[in-house]
Homo-oligomer: A and B are copies of this chain.
Amino acid sequence: MKILVLGAAGMIGRKLIERLLSEGTLRGSPITAIYAFDIVEAAVSSTDDIAVTKQAGDISDAPTVAAMVGTRPDVIFHLAAIVSGEAEADFEKGYRINLDGTQNLFNAIIEERDYCPRVVYASSIAVFGAPFPERIGDEFHTTPLTSYGTQKAIGELLLADYTRKGHMDGVGLRLPTIVVRPGAPNAAASGFFSNIIREPLAGEPAILPVSDDVLHWVASPRSAIGFCLHAANMDGEKIGPRRNLTMPGLAITVGEMITALGKVAGPAAVERIERREDPTIVAIVANWPRQFDASRALGLGFVSETRFEDVIQAHIDDELGGKLPA
């Protein structure tokens, strides 16, 4: 079992590789090699059983992508992307990496004859654009209001068509906003959803730039890795021709998140959150989807947290060694 991870240095890529190394198998077979690709070298290492090859490069360079695909990995995780804010600020770069890069990957797969890898593609709820119904169902149209969402929606269409024609065996995952993101506070508009949990847990202050009644759709990094593994392992026949799935998540208000933080970490943690409204972020967030009916994915066995306390506990277990700082 050989695995290629594109976007290996990102938060999901790194955690996915760590999990693959600890599991040791995928699709019922022992993992022998992991090829870790990103624009910078990923901070992952080989184990006694699994050779990890790291490469830094640009997915928009077709020969680079063809060489990787030429190693004929059994499973490809395509997590590489220019994120939303940068794709919006740099139109050309967003299309070059997110669209041309994805086409480079899919076309390199066609060029390998007698080859049909499972491709797990990280899409996003950014494929949806306001106005929305109260809950977005599996048949709601994709009318993105960002270039990033547009590029992800196009990737979904290509994935479904290349799969339908037998060129690959793709599964697209529309990921919720991932909370709690580890690491330093993030300047992304969605960063505060993580900041208001991660920073107070670490004894640090955090700013809440929106009102408590903002409702959002979230899942933990642990759930995101679980989605990727389940998408790699599952029987593709069961999915049918609609290969792109809205992942399950938790619809929760900021106020409910803070209440859960208080239950897990006590009132002192809650007091570290300062409410300071930012009209720019308020306006951006107003256009985001809030809640989904992820029936198809749930029916296909994808699972996520149902209580936000579990999202917080996953962060404490996975990032803080299982306990709160004294």
Q: Is A10 an interface residue (CB 8 A)?
A: no
Binary per-residue interface labels of chain A (88-103) against chain B in the complex, 1 for a CB within 8 Å, 0 otherwise: 0001000000000000
Q: Is A295 an interface residue (CB 8 A)?
A: no
Is the Cβ of B143 less than 8 Å from the Cβ of A150? no
Q: Is A311 an interface residue (CB 8 A)?
A: no
Chain B residues near A129: list those with CB within 8 A. Answer: 241-242
Q: How large is the interface on A (under 10, 10 to 19, 20 to 34, 35 or more residues)?
A: 20 to 34
Q: What's the least CB distance linking A106 to chain B, in Å?
A: 10
Given known A-B contacts A141-B141, A143-B241, A161 and B150 have beta carbons under 8 A apart: yes
Give residues 127-174 of A contacting B (CB, 8 Å): 129, 138-145, 147, 150, 153-154, 157-158, 160-161, 164-165
Given known A-B contacts A129-B241, A141-B140, A147 and B165 have beta carbons under 8 A apart: yes
Chain B residues near A145: list those with CB within 8 A. Answer: 164, 241
Chain B residues near A158: list those with CB within 8 A. Answer: 150, 154
Chain B residues near A140: list those with CB within 8 A. Answer: 139, 141
Is the Cβ of A141 less than 8 Å from the Cβ of B142? yes
Chain B residues near A138: list those with CB within 8 A. Answer: 141
Q: What separation, in Å, do the CA atoms of A16 and B15 have in the docked complex? A: 56
Chain B residues near A154: list those with CB within 8 A. Answer: 154, 157-158
A residues bordering B, Cβ < 8 Å?
A: 91, 129, 138-145, 147, 150, 153-154, 157-158, 160-161, 164-165, 241-242
